[in-house]
Amino acid sequence: MSETPEIHSDQLLGFTLPARHARGRLVRLDNVLDQILSAHDYPAPVTHLLAEALVLCALMGGLQKDDGAQMTMQAQTENGPVRLLVCDYRGGDMRGYVEFDAARLAELGANPTLFALFGQGYLAITFDPVNGQRYQGIVPLEGGSLAETCERYFSQSEQIPSLLRVAVRMEGDRCHAGGLLLQHFPEGEAGRERLHAQVDSPEWEHVAILGGSVSHDELLDRNLTMEEIIWRLFHEEDKVRVWQGDCLTRGCRCTVEHYQAVIERFPEDDRVDMRNDEGIIVVDCAFCSKKFELAL
């Protein structure tokens, strides 16, 4: 296994199993998760849901190779208590928010299912490379978790056998989360050569069994480095290549200049309707809950 400094949280760890034609990403969110969640006073079920989504966003966003490329995950429905969940990832910068009906959510109890939260909904995953074509895949919000839905996305939209494991724990006012992504690439990672991957490959079955054995406690144990988790899972492999991925930070990109540029595109008549009694246009960022006052 490659030598890397100990990594406990808030950084991606990438790895490959060359003999098994598999790659993986491991992440644990700690301070960055607290920072994102601190912008909102979410009830526990929504906090848990967004934490899981941010772990998945980091794992999948960290697959991108282009600096500046963005991955966006959006879960939406018209008939569930949770109307919209959005999070994105760009070069380690992460952000996310949830829109929900508080009254309907309160009726669900402490541990609602994914279907109870969204009803009949869908998950859209979008990759925006710096150079290249924008790609989006859409799958129904089905299964017991967002992780299961994302596995279905990779199977249906990317034809990549994938395994995802996510753990979330609430400890008082703090939330901790971690996750593991494994994928099978018998033809390599470049381009669409990976379409030949087979779910029933003996190599993939072996890797999936080992990866699937990771426990929630291991993913969340801050005394256990992420490299130690990889070693526990795959120490019998001939070679495991490990490297540090992006450092993770809260990355809301809202600024006065950004919103000014957006509002200035509207006709003057529309801007008149936006102004309050003091003649100020107030913009509320859904991601970080900051309010920006624009004198336009």
Task: Enter the CATH code of domain 11-250.
Answer: 3.55.30.10
How far, CA to CA in Å, does 5 sit from each of 13, 41, 43, 226, 228?
11, 35, 36, 10, 11
Within 10 Å of residue 113's Cβ, how many Cβ atoms? Answer: 11
Per-residue pLDDT reduced to its tens digit, 169-201: 998 888 999 999 999 985 544 443 444 445 557
pLDDT of 163 reads 96
Q: Is the separation of the CB atoms in 82 and 99 below 8 Å? A: yes
Closest CA to 105 of 83, 121, 81: 81
Q: Is the separation of the CB atoms in 141 and 124 below 8 Å? A: no
What DSSP designation does 157 have?
I
**Whole-model pTM?**
0.87
What DSSP designation does 241 have?
E
pLDDT of 198 reads 54
Sign of CA dihedral 273, 276, 277, 278: negative
Pairing between β-strand 82-90 and β-strand 174-184 as defined by DSSP bridges: unpaired
Q: Is the separation of the CB atoms in 192 and 159 below 8 Å? A: no
The domain locations on the chain are 11-250, 256-294
Angle between helices 202-212 and 226-234 (to 10 degrees): 130
| Cα distance between residue 164 and residue 123, in whole Å | 16
pLDDT of 191 reads 40
Q: Which residues of the chain have pLDDT under 70?
A: 1-6, 186-200
Per-residue pLDDT reduced to its tens digit, 207-221: 999 999 999 999 999
pLDDT of 192 reads 39
